Amino acid sequence: MSEEANPFESLQEQIDDAAAYVDVPGDVLERFKHPERVLETNLTVEMDDGSLSVFKAFRSQFNGDRGPYKGGIRYHPGVTRDEVKALSGWMVYKCAVVDIPYGGGKGGIVVEPRELSMTELERLTRSFAKELRPVIGEDRDIPAPDVNTGQREMNWIKDTYETLENTTAPGVITGKAIESGGSRGRVEATGRSVMLTAREAFDYLGKEIEGATVAVQGYGNAGSIAARLIESELGADVVAVSDSSGAIHHPDGLDTAAVRAHKDETGTVTGYPEAESELTNEELLTMDVDLLVPAALENAIDGDLAEDVAADVVVEAANGPLTPDADDVLTERGVHVFPDILANAGGVTVSYFEWVQNRQRFYWPESRVNDELERHIVEAFDGLTSAYEDNDLPNFRTAAYVVALQRVYRAYSEGGTWP
Ligand code: GLU
């Protein structure tokens, strides 16, 4: 595991790799490698015992050339300013790859949410929402869930914003519960786009997904739903899954829904009674499977570990799970990596549908959400593979950035420069 790779530098390297194939002037490229602004704030929150705690929090607005800043808010003790900057940049290129009318943003609070009570979490979230209020808005910056946040936090942020603004504005944030203006299909959307990307990737490479073996690292929202849909909709065998407590394995395939129920009950995937054996995280990442899905945090696979990755195909459910060194090694070794900015883009794509529904106050059935999502992901996949072939690109990540960078540059140059 490489703790050293700085995600912001990784993002800049990815942009540079693609820029070699896109006609963007160097000075304009600098713009696309840096956030427009970063809010850093220290939230003072009253704990249940009456004491005060201070939590550092960030919101990075990376680029708004294609529309309002868009991206999640994560709660994690490892959040840093550079991580949030990188994540906000990845959102710019993700929204461009799937061609939805947004720029990119990201937020985070340095906190271990498991150490807070629900009332403390609510005060923390409302305190952040109060700080964010001047810089967010339905047409300005639209946050969403990310690591360790979900419907509950989004509902609180929406409520705080609407109360302070004395209005109703459900489109100020996405990933809300249905009753608070959420969209059907949003909870599943990230996992669904991972499944769709795996399906398209295997088809494109002329490989059979039915009966293929799959390992999934990370069993949160993205990982557990991707695992379930890859098993139930594609007929693959999910032979290993992990979370921060360790990994479990069964050569004939795990019952992914039962593993999720076990995790909901006990807090971890380990100890699942039907598993044949338990593995380390590293053993899972280097298993000889047809498909590997990293669905945890950044830097899960570095250059050294990439030498031992035995999967044929990698589909990234997490943001930034491979370091640039890992990318180079896997490209060299002929392992096909389908990048995060395509594979996990289902989350933000259905966030876009949620925002459209909020603006129109007209709500769609789940079938429409899933059909529109499939259309966006399949079209994006086809655009990426065309760019890969037409430009003879080294890998699919560079192809995704080439497509995205062209779109961002076009939007920027059409608008021109404001002094
Ligand atoms: N946090 C998710 C992501 O990284 C979703 C963002 C959104 O829905 O705006 O793509």
Q: Is 392 left (phi over 0), alpha (psi -120 to 50) or beta?
A: left
CB-CB contact of 52 with 46 (8 Å): yes
14 Cα: distance to centroid of ligand 1 (angstroms): 19
The Cβ-side half-sphere exposure at 370, using a 13 Å CA radius, reads 12
The radius of gyration computed from the CA coordinates of the chain, to the nearest angstrom, equals 20
- pLDDT range class, residue 275, cuts 50, 70, 90: very high
d(C-alpha 340, C-alpha 220), whole Å? 16
CB-CB contact of 342 with 384 (8 Å): yes
DSSP labels, 164-192: HHTS--GGGS-S--GGGTPPTTHHHHHHH
Catalytic site residues?
106
Nearest Cα residue to atom 9 of ligand 1: 71
d(C-alpha 366, C-alpha 368), whole Å? 5
Nearest Cα residue to atom 7 of ligand 1: 348
Nearest to 11 by CA among 306, 385, 377, 404: 404
Residue 1 pLDDT > 90 = no
> pLDDT for 209-220, tens place per residue?
999 999 999 999
Q: Which numbered atom of ligand 1 lies nearest the CA of 319? A: 4
Angle between helices 81-97 and 7-19 in degrees, nearest 10: 30
Q: Which numbered atom of ligand 1 lies nearest the CA of 90? A: 4
Q: Which numbered atom of ligand 1 lies nearest the CA of 175? A: 8
pTM score: 0.97
DSSP 54: E
- pLDDT range class, residue 2, cuts 50, 70, 90: very low
For strands 277-279 and 291-294, give the pairing.
unpaired
The response to whether residue 319 sits with its C-beta less than 6 Å from ligand 1 reads: yes
CB-CB contact of 318 with 226 (8 Å): no
The response to whether residue 349 sits with its C-beta less than 6 Å from ligand 1 reads: no
The response to whether residue 70 sits with its C-beta less than 6 Å from ligand 1 reads: yes
Angle between helices 186-204 and 221-234 in degrees, nearest 10: 50
| Cα–Cα distance list, 207 to 41, 290, 342, 380 (Å) | 49, 9, 20, 20
Mean pLDDT for the stretch of residues 237-242: 98
Residue 409 pLDDT > 60 = yes
- Containing 9, the helix (H) or strand (E) segment is helix 7-19
Residue 140 pLDDT > 90 = yes
d(C-alpha 337, C-alpha 30), whole Å? 26
> pLDDT for 66-86, tens place per residue?
999 999 999 999 999 999 999
> pLDDT for 364-397, tens place per residue?
999 999 999 999 999 999 999 999 999 999 999 9
